[in-house]
Amino acid sequence: FGVDSIMLPPWRCGKTVVPFLCRTARSCRHRVPRRELSSRSKEERAVERQEIWSDISRGYFADFHEFRKTGGKRFEAADQLCSRKEATRFPLISGRSLTREGVELPAALKGHVSLVLISFRAYGLRMSQLYLEPFAKEFGSNMSVKVFEVSLVEKLFYRMLRRWMERNLKREIPRERHPSFMVYTGGGLKAIKETLKLGNTIVGHAHLLDREGLVRWRAHATPTDRELQTLLRCTGQLLKDSKPK
């Protein structure tokens, strides 16, 4: 599900995360071709290590601190759709589903009103189900509606665990959801996070797309009853207002 799936509880991260990551980085370093290592100076490798540590410090620990204070919820979702003019186009994310088929978003969703659930960690994945369950109950039989789940895996030493994570996901995720569940291990995560405003990486994120791949509504963290009602209402509105092309 994510690195936190195999770590001790987060409140002990200060003592456990860094040693784990360092051991992983050391083991991964031996797999890098010697030619690539020799082409990089000690200074360049030192800068890279410092950047990795800075990202961890500013990222996971900052997110966890926020999560402890607010549950990771920075705001409550809007009670209506944003206009097409204000909407953000869903970024290109290509990867492989749990059935090992190539998938490219948002192309795979074109012509459908879609709910895209994004998570970085096991906790966020479980949180995403709070959006999925009422949505599937309401629109599961509607052929004009799609649901897609994306697990974004951060950093090279996390990506090294891809196969292990996929095996665990296949055991945990119901088989009927495997074709619509992607594990993304590519680059450009910073740009994806900025485009979709994925603030806290511990929590789950929900994005409602129209038929053209525009994000018309979004929410994150544990949904309130009002947010779930808004999600269902806005989906119904998109189905009425838009026509498939």
Q: Please state the rounded mean pLDDT for residues 140-163.
A: 81
Average pLDDT of the chain? Answer: 78
Distance CA 209, CA 72 (A): 23
Burial (0-12, 13-18, 19+ Cβ within 10 Å), 185: buried
pLDDT in tens, 155-195: 565 556 767 777 888 998 999 999 999 988 777 888 999 99
pLDDT of residue 199: 83
Residue whose entry in the numeric block shows the structure tokens 């479980």: 126
- Highest mean predicted confidence (pLDDT) among 29-43, 62-76, 154-168, 196-210: 196-210
pLDDT score of 48: 55
Measured between alpha carbons, how far is 158 from 5 in angstroms, rounded to an integer?
12
Name the β-bridge partners of 206.
117, 219
pLDDT digits (tens, 9 = 90+) for 94-118: 988 999 999 999 999 999 999 999 9
In this model, does residue 14 exceed pLDDT 80? no
Beta partners for 93?
Answer: 105
- For 92: left if phi > 0, alpha if psi spans -120 to 50, otherwise beta; the answer is beta
What contacts 123, CB < 8 A, 6 or more positions away? 4, 202, 203
Is the model's pLDDT at 16 over the cut of 60?
Answer: no
Neighbours of 134 (CB within 10 A): 15
Phi, psi for 156 (deg, rounded to 5): -60, -45
Other CB atoms closer than 10 Å to residue 146's CB: what's the count? 18
Note the pLDDT of residue 157. Answer: 53
- pLDDT tens-digit readout, 193-226: 999 999 888 899 999 999 999 999 999 999 999 9
pTM: 0.74
* CA geometry: angle 147, 75, 93, nearest 5 deg: 35
* More confident of the two residues 22 and 164: 164
